[in-house]
Amino acid sequence: MDVNSSFRPRPMLLLSSGCLFHLPLRLIARLGRNAGFAGLEVIMNSPRLCHSSELDGVDALLPIKSLHAPFRRWSDWGGHLAAWKATTSLANSLPNVDHITLHPPGTRLANMIANRWFEKAHDLALLLDAKGRVRFSLETMPWVRGSPFGRHPFEQLLELCRDKNVGLTFDVCHMGVSGLNIMDAIGHVPDALLYNVHFSDAKGYTEHLSPGKGDLPLDDFLKHLGKRGYDGYLTLELEPSAFPDDLDASTEILAGMRTHIETRLMRGAKEA
């Protein structure tokens, strides 16, 4: 074993606000802090977040490191591009945010306008007026096997990341429900492209389960990340149904998950 393995870079563990989106953001941040998470990824589910001082208080409790750009109700924001620009402007103003997760525009008719400008954009950071510290990544989305497209959608997404000068958010459960082997898939992602990992389990077509409640080899996945020295973000992103109504119990569950994740990452690092 490398004598310096204990000093290998490790990912920063974030808590997605989507895990407990029914609770106030400040309370989510307090739960995450008490459970030992290093930061927060805030899902931008309302334009009011861009015009409120609420996030300053949230950031004081648990640093907001990443924003998840809106992915529905575009009319509330004035359109797809306006939603991404508003999210970027907010990221520029928050002291600890250096990353934004984006859903690639879909293939439905409602996304045609978004697709038009997205296809022409070759530098999203420049297009969206991001400050130098703010980086973007495109998230792996679920898809149906047997797609009529000639090329594998995952490989297309990696090429899209290179073309747009952004990274990748590897959503583990999205890959699982798509019928892919997550170990093979993560092995195809270059270190330079991997910015964020959305971490949860899946069973069949059920997504965002607690680790161990689905069928995915999550322990092996974590060991792989530790072994390769991954030092980006690893974001726990679960359904709120994974947690009881009791806040103390929810904190204990989150702390247990965090400890398990860190233990598996360290085992992988020691094997490197």
Instruction: Count the residues in the chain.
Output: 272
pLDDT: is 226 or 145 the higher one? 226
State how far the alpha carbon of 254 is from the alpha carbons of 4, 30, 67, 115, in Å: 29, 12, 20, 38
Helix H or strand E segment including 169:
strand 167-171
Which string of DSSP letters, residue by residue, matches 97-109? --EEEEPPP-SSG
Hey, which residues does 255 pair with through a beta bridge?
none
d(CA 144, CA 3): 45
Write the DSSP symbol of residue 237: -
| pLDDT for the residue numbered 144 | 58
- For residue 34, give the nearest of 208, 249, 239, 197 by alpha carbon: 249
Question: Mean pLDDT across the chain, nearest whole number?
Answer: 89
Both structure tokens of 8: 């290998």
Statement: the pTM of the whole predicted model exceeds 0.75: yes
Residue 128: pLDDT over 50: yes
Residue 72: pLDDT over 90: no
Q: What is the CATH architecture assignment of 5-271?
A: Alpha-Beta Barrel (3.20)
Both structure tokens of 180: 């892919």
Per-residue confidence band for 150, with pLDDT thresholds at 50, 70 and 90:
very low
Residue 240: pLDDT over 70: yes
| pLDDT for the residue numbered 80 | 83
Domain chopping of the chain, boundaries: 5-271
- Which residue is listed with tokens 């640093």? 63
What radius of gyration do the chain's Cα atoms show?
18
Hey, which residues does 81 pair with through a beta bridge?
none
Residue 59: pLDDT over 60: yes
d(CA 17, CA 236): 9
- How much is the average pLDDT of 110-125? 71
Number of Cβ within a 10 Å radius of residue 158: 18
d(CA 176, CA 167): 20
| pLDDT for the residue numbered 71 | 86
